[in-house]
Structure 1
Amino acid sequence: MTAASYPIFDADRHFYEPPEAFLRHLPKKFKSQFQYVEVNGRTKLAVGGVLTDYIPNPTFEVVAAPGSHEAWYRADNPEGLTLREMAGKPVPSQAAFHNGAAHLAVMESQGVHGGLIIPTLASVIEARLHNQPEAIAALFHALNCWFEEEVGFAYENRLFPVPMINLADVDTAVAELEYLLSAGARVVGIRPAPVPGIYGTRSMGFKEFDPFWARINESKIFVAMHVSDSGYDQIARWWTAGARNSDEFRPFEKEPFGELLDWMGRPIADSLSAVICHGVFDRFPNVRIASLENGSAWLEPLLKRMENIYHKMPKSFTRNPVETFREHIYISPFYEDPVEKLGELIGFDRILFGSDWPHPEGMATPMDFFKDISNVNEANTQRIMSTNLQDLLTGVR
């Protein structure tokens, strides 16, 4: 483990939420929308009355070991193992996966001082209840109340859970934001995807959402857009849904065509483009957004498209959208991404270290990230590993 003379801040850590995280505070009228059910002796999750395998083991009694998929994502698989084979034997759940004090103890052993705590199971909700915004809001509020009770939103000023907000009804979203601000939240999470509504989906950058962005702007907390089920798997279904030999979905299995489709980069690239093109940062200059666990391979072509479109339609922007991006957007790259290139594109003061611990695709040893940025100079390394997230958490621009 690499020692550092400054505190390490990790922008992408996770809890595996237990059932009570959603059920303890969920009003009775919504309990049928989020159920743990037994199917052939296994507990599955039914959302909106439909079974989902998006999270194959929603109780998280056993999980893939932290970092067990790392070699896969580094493209280091000479034996040609499947992702499931590479994961190996599941490990029992640990207190650190859902308890603040236990998680902090693990962070101490890892050499990490502080970090964001992002829910895992919450990612299934919005895509499966897109036409039931009241139920989404109730589930997110229940989860946020559980976080406040179990951890708080600034536990020992070192653990910072990311509460979730759905924007479908802006008044409800603002009310949730007010509750979270009063509870001490330093960050809120929204899904990188179009916002559902009774007339169809729409951009979170449209002016109808200005009351939400105005309160973010005033409070100077930041918004996290973490990778989620953004509904983009419909692109794969467009190509494969009619196949007569289509295989049944199996979690943690991959196939080449699906991997080639940009299911991860497109949602975040599209979402950030919507926020910029629809003028959020022009109207609310204090808003800052952190892209978490979306990688950065999508960034260079996106910035090139922005530059090109700006010169085609300069009067459609108040300034070059690339400059807007560089001022307001922070990115946590994957460990396999070229961080030096990312620094050239947006500046090292906009890069965040994120380990994704304890997820299997993350890092078993977070401080190993120092090896991945060994070519970055000391000042910029400190920005990535410490200063940038601290500034976001304290409202420094």
Structure 2
Amino acid sequence: MTATQQEAQRTAPAPKPLGYRAIDVDNHYYEPIDSFTRYLPKEFSRRGVQMYQDGKRTWAVMGGRVNTFIPNPTFDPIIEPGCLDLLFRGEIPEGVDPASLMKVDRISDHPEYRNRDARVKILDKQNLETVFMLPTFACGVEEALKHDVEATMVSVHAFNLWLDEDWGFNRPDHRILAAPIISLADPDKAVEEAEFVLSRGAKVVCVRPAPVPGVVKPRSLGDPVHDPVWARLAEAGVPVVFHLSDSGYMAIPALWGGKDTFEGFGKRDPLDMVVMDDRAIHDSIASMIVHQVFTRHPTLKVASIENGSYFVYRLIKRLKKSANNAPYHYKEDPVEQLRNNVWIAPYYEDDVKLLADTIGVDKILFGSDWPHGEGLADPTSFTADIPQFPEFSHEDTRKVMRDNALTLVGTHVSA
């Protein structure tokens, strides 16, 4: 056993035993290289996502340009789940090179990353009843295609066809709720896509936390032109997931001399992340609240997943200030709308007690980010980062690990 492994064993907190199966709102697949092309109309083959083979290397080409959001779109080799845990906790033992924590495996040895039946067997071993199944590669596509709205909408539809075929938006067993993507770039087509995925049984949808691309100029997520989509999702009781994506915010570090492209892996200037950090989710939730989406659609539910929770405190401070400065604008308390309409899945290293004191324990979700390297190797070990009794009761822990997700999606699963 290496020194790093020994240190990890000494410092890793023990998870709490559960008398029930948990619901993990942050699980991922690794898309095959045809996830965007299997159902893409031929006339869009050069405008959408292409895979280019250069010797042994495969590159993703989007909108005619090589895209490095995922440097290796074959995902082979693939990083081991949870191997970067110490890095994200800030607990790397002295003298250990952070790069040495990176462990990889052949994707062919892990059918559960791409096969639904194999994944369900893993869920049984992990004591998980249901998971939200979310994109990996697809989180970078909308930004790459934002200058071609038509290609964006066609590509997203093709992806959703693949997703339902391989994973299922909502099969009768409710074990996996695969979240289709809704792009708002074309408001009319967005309504059509929402109707399509709802007709296929979708119980949760992904919307990119970013300004909405437009032919003339970008739009706010709160622009009333998007109301038909929000209204339809609110009516169906289907929540919107804002998951960490390429939101176009690399333009901010570029102003400071940094990179202007989002890269999932690789060494970069630390300032890039310091100045960008969680701005996209902060601004996305702000746009929904300040531009009155929840006032017009009070039953719409939104969940922030894999964006951490520290943006919440800055957002509350700014919403309060905005309400004080422009009371004529707000028909309802914007902070209360945040607490009523938004659920948060914190990073496992976040202060869960502080978040509960701020927005209420009923709005906190458990997400492991499995099988990503920056997530948890054992999903339910998330309980080790939840405060112990009496700060958190057993009932509060169950809310975070299971019941709040049920409230969010309104889906019956067995106890």
- Structure 1 position 163 matched with structure 2 position 180: yes
User: Equivalent residue of 2:247, what SS?
Assistant: coil
Out of 226, 244, 266, the residue aligned to residue 243 of structure 2 is 226
Deviation (angstroms), 1:252 = 2.9
Deviation (angstroms), 1:322 = 0.4
Native 8 Å contact 1:227 1:264 kept in 2: no
Percent identity of paired positions between Structure 1 and Structure 2: 37
For the residues of structure 1 that align with 2:290 and 2:98, how far apart are their CA atoms? 38
Q: Deviations over 1:235-273 (max 9, x none)?
A: 11111159xxx9xx7933243322322x24100010000
Native 8 Å contact 2:363 2:404 kept in 1: yes
Native 8 Å contact 1:221 1:395 kept in 2: no
For the residues of structure 2 that align with 1:170 and 1:305, how far apart are their CA atoms? 29
Out of 350, 353, 356, the residue aligned to residue 363 of structure 2 is 350
**Alignment-derived partner of residue 281 in structure 1:** 294
Native 8 Å contact 1:352 1:384 kept in 2: yes
- Structure 1 position 306 matched with structure 2 position 322: no
Native 8 Å contact 1:355 1:363 kept in 2: yes
For the residues of structure 1 that align with 2:316 and 2:106, how far apart are their CA atoms? 41
Give the direction of change, closer, same or farther, for the CA distance of 1:165–1:271 in structure 2 (3 Å limit).
same
**Alignment-derived partner of residue 40 in structure 2:** 26
**Alignment-derived partner of residue 203 in structure 2:** 186
- Structure 1 position 117 matched with structure 2 position 130: no
User: Equivalent residue of 1:316, what SS?
Assistant: coil
- 360-369 vs 84-93, greater mean Cα deviation: 84-93
Out of 46, 51, 57, the residue aligned to residue 66 of structure 2 is 51
Native 8 Å contact 2:126 2:380 kept in 1: yes
Give the direction of change, closer, same or farther, for the CA distance of 1:234–1:84 in structure 2 (3 Å limit).
farther
Give the direction of change, closer, same or farther, for the CA distance of 1:214–1:250 in structure 2 (3 Å limit).
closer
Native 8 Å contact 2:77 2:104 kept in 1: no
For the residues of structure 2 that align with 1:110 and 1:54, how far apart are their CA atoms? 29
For the residues of structure 1 that align with 2:150 and 2:96, how far apart are their CA atoms? 43
**Alignment-derived partner of residue 76 in structure 1:** 91
For the residues of structure 1 that align with 2:131 and 2:45, how far apart are their CA atoms? 32
Instruction: Note the 1:56-71 alignment, pairs <5 A.
Output: 56-71=71-86
User: Equivalent residue of 2:120, what SS?
Assistant: helix
Native 8 Å contact 1:331 1:351 kept in 2: yes
Instruction: Note the 1:85-234 alignment, pairs <5 A.
Output: 85-93=100-108, 94-155=110-171, 156-234=173-251
Native 8 Å contact 1:83 1:254 kept in 2: no
For structure 2, the 5+ residue unaligned runs are 1-14
User: Equivalent residue of 1:22, what SS?
Assistant: coil
Q: TM-score, normalised by structure 2?
A: 0.90
Deviation (angstroms), 1:303 = 0.5
Deviation (angstroms), 1:385 = 0.3
Out of 373, 378, 387, the residue aligned to residue 394 of structure 2 is 378
User: Equivalent residue of 1:20, what SS?
Assistant: coil
For the residues of structure 2 that align with 1:236 and 1:81, how far apart are their CA atoms? 28
Q: Deviations over 1:283-337 (max 9, x none)?
A: 1111010000000111112101111221121111012110010000000000110
**Alignment-derived partner of residue 12 in structure 2:** none
For the residues of structure 1 that align with 2:367 and 2:264, how far apart are their CA atoms? 27
- What amino acid is aligned across from residue 296 of structure 1 in structure 2? S
For structure 1, the 5+ residue unaligned runs are none
User: Equivalent residue of 2:214, what SS?
Assistant: coil
Q: TM-score, normalised by structure 1?
A: 0.94
Give the direction of change, closer, same or farther, for the CA distance of 1:26–1:16 in structure 2 (3 Å limit).
same
For the residues of structure 1 that align with 2:385 and 2:138, how far apart are their CA atoms? 30
For the residues of structure 2 that align with 1:72 and 1:208, how far apart are their CA atoms? 42
Deviation (angstroms), 1:143 = 1.4
- What amino acid is aligned across from residue 190 of structure 1 in structure 2? V
Native 8 Å contact 2:81 2:374 kept in 1: yes
For the residues of structure 1 that align with 2:19 and 2:25, how far apart are their CA atoms? 19
Q: Deviations over 1:40-90 (max 9, x none)?
A: 531111111111221011011211111111111101123465654321344
For the residues of structure 2 that align with 1:314 and 1:390, how far apart are their CA atoms? 35
Q: Deviations over 1:137-166 (max 9, x none)?
A: 112111111122222212321100010011
- What amino acid is aligned across from residue 152 of structure 1 in structure 2? G
Deviation (angstroms), 1:2 = 4.4
